[in-house]
Amino acid sequence: MTTTPTHRVRATLGINKKNIPALLALAKAIYDGMLANPALFPSPNPALALLLALITALDNTQRATATRARGTAAVRDAKRDELYTGLESERMYVQSLCDANPEQAAILIKAAGMTIGKVPARAKPVLEAKEGTQPGSVVLSANERLLVGASVHKKTLFNWQMSADGGKTWTALPATPFASTEVTGLTPLTTYAFRVCVTVAKVTGEWSQAVTILVR
């Protein structure tokens, strides 16, 4: 059976740049994290001296806005954007290290003061095949919402087929009113292919892409 690839661990900043106090706190955490771990981050981009300068510039201009002098907010916003761009470059640098060393990705991201991005929810495929409840059996599960869509409340029939020769010939299996079925009496240690289509209100759709499984 085809295995699902490991999800890429993503480094994120996890910050809204308009929240300047939080942005400054994040920037200082990233600076401190990289400075404390030179072996993990040998070539920061931008260099840490430049990153510190960007942090200091925004910090100073943020303080200047307290005077409400004309133009201080615009200058502050420009320095904010420069710092955010620098942090995004640092994030891309850390991500490149994560991609090169996936087993160390979480350690690298945390050491850099960044956030691990959420793993996207795995989309349910159109058809899944799993080992059945007894030897020589397979349980098939179809994604009813993908196959039927807005017609989910209409009379639906799920049509199933299997192939033992790599899809050259197909054998019809009993249709069901449900989005799952168990196929029994299969030959152990044989690879079978399965596919499904639906008949909704007497209209039959196209066959799905086949899935394969080695029967136990």
pLDDT tens, N- to C-terminus, the chain (216 residues): 333 335 689 999 999 999 999 999 999 999 999 999 999 999 999 999 999 999 999 999 999 999 999 999 999 999 999 999 999 999 999 999 999 999 999 999 999 999 999 866 666 889 999 999 899 999 999 999 888 875 555 688 999 999 999 999 999 999 999 999 999 999 999 999 999 999 988 889 999 999 999 998
Of the candidates 134, 127, 148, the one whose C-alpha atom is nearest the C-alpha of residue 194 is 127
The one-character DSSP state at 18 is T
**CA distances, 171 to each of 185, 207, 211 (Å):** 14, 13, 15
C-alpha to C-alpha distance for 83 and 86, rounded to whole angstroms: 5
CATH 2.60.40.10 domain position(s) in the chain: 127-214
Among the CATH numbers 2.40.128.20, 1.25.10.10, 3.50.50.60, 2.60.40.10, which is that of 127-214?
Answer: 2.60.40.10
C-alpha to C-alpha distance for 116 and 113, rounded to whole angstroms: 10
* Strand-pair category, 211-214 with 203-204: unpaired
Structure tokens at 107: 């350690």
Q: What is the pTM of this model?
A: 0.56
